[in-house]
Amino acid sequence: MKPTPERRHPWRLTPPRRPGLLVGLLLAGACSPDAEPLEEPPRDPREVIAGRPDAPSPTPAEYATELAFVGFARQPVRLYARFVNETSADTLLRRYAGWLESGGEWRLLSALEDVLPVPRAAWRILPGGPWKVMAANGGELAGLRYRDTVADFRLTPGELVAEWTGETGQREALLLARLQRGDSIQNGLLVFRRAARLRSDGADESARPRADARSIEAPAVGLRTQLFLLVDSLSNGLLVARDATDPDSTAIGWTWVGSIGNEWADVRVRPPPEGASRALARWQIEVPEAGVRARFRLEPLPPAEPDGPSDPAPLPFALQGRLEILGSERPAAGLAVEDGE
């Protein structure tokens, strides 16, 4: 049952559908034998700036990609990774970091920070150090491999569950995915997000690229998004997004229940009372039309190396609680992310 017009919020929802162009390319690569590891970026700037030594310098920009995975299990594997490529006139600064949780223990993945010549597609996740990338046609992410003394895993995106438009107009998605460690494979849900913004010294917010409302075919999420991904051991999941700058704004949500995906506009988020002790700081989410309730608490992930002042990094949290669907309640775990200032 879809929400009635008077209950809809300004974010425009679309009915569940098969992958669009961006996600379609991503998924095609995940299943295609043509998907190959990306090569290390060339070191000669003449090779990477449009292939011409006299090519104009690119506009300084920042490209960020986020991946949040939660497995379907009583003790799920959880992964959060963030990849930032920051371009200047002729160089690219990349900062890659992540967290992996298994068996109740969180591990900080090896951070990667270095400077490269600007590649032709600065928005791509580029392989380096322990981070390896599988790419589909068009350069979309088809798989992620991480291997060092801390962890060894492979993340592969699968079927699309839902999609929406992010803060700078990029299509973002909730997908089925699998995470493999050695002979162990765990299926789960993956949130894929991408954002881009212009950079220049002294630039104000008006310099940031905005989504064109006339071209948006999926719900647009606010400029400071707060995301909650909750999964139980029966392969059910709930993803909720709201604008963190306006706690009273209406949230939007997506459910994956019984292998069926749905979108919901009537989602009620109740944060813990202001000043509540950490032990009592429980969040509550309700999707009345879906018969879904969630109660959980947030725990911050171990601190990573501080990001530069130009990168307002999201704040990731581990999420632990219970997910109730049509009166049946089960333990659930997940991840929460709030965009930085």
Q: What is the DSSP letter of 261?
A: E
**Is the overall model pTM greater than 0.85, yes or no?**
no
Number of other CB atoms surrounding residue 86 within 10 Å: 20
Cα distance from N-terminal residue to C-terminal residue, the chain:
36
Which is more confidently placed, 92 or 14?
A: 92
Q: What is the pLDDT of residues 245-287, one digit of tens each?
A: 776 777 899 999 999 999 999 899 998 888 777 667 899 999 9
Distance CA 113, CA 132 (A): 15
pLDDT of residue 256: 96
Tokens 């009372």 appear where?
273
Which residue from 96, 87, 97 is spatially nearest to 45, judged by alpha carbons? 87
Distance CA 113, CA 124 (A): 15
Q: What is the DSSP letter of 221?
A: P
Q: What is the DSSP letter of 33?
A: T
**Cβ–Cβ < 8 Å for 66, 82:** yes
Distance CA 248, CA 261 (A): 26
Distance CA 84, CA 97 (A): 9
- CB-based burial label for 297 (10 Å; 0-12, 13-18, 19+): middle
Helix (H) or strand (E) holding 21: helix 21-31
Domain ranges of the chain: 13-338
pLDDT of residue 45: 33
Percent of the chain past pLDDT 90, that is, above it, reads 44
Percent of the chain past pLDDT 70, that is, above it, reads 71
Distance, C-alpha 340 to centroid of its chain:
14
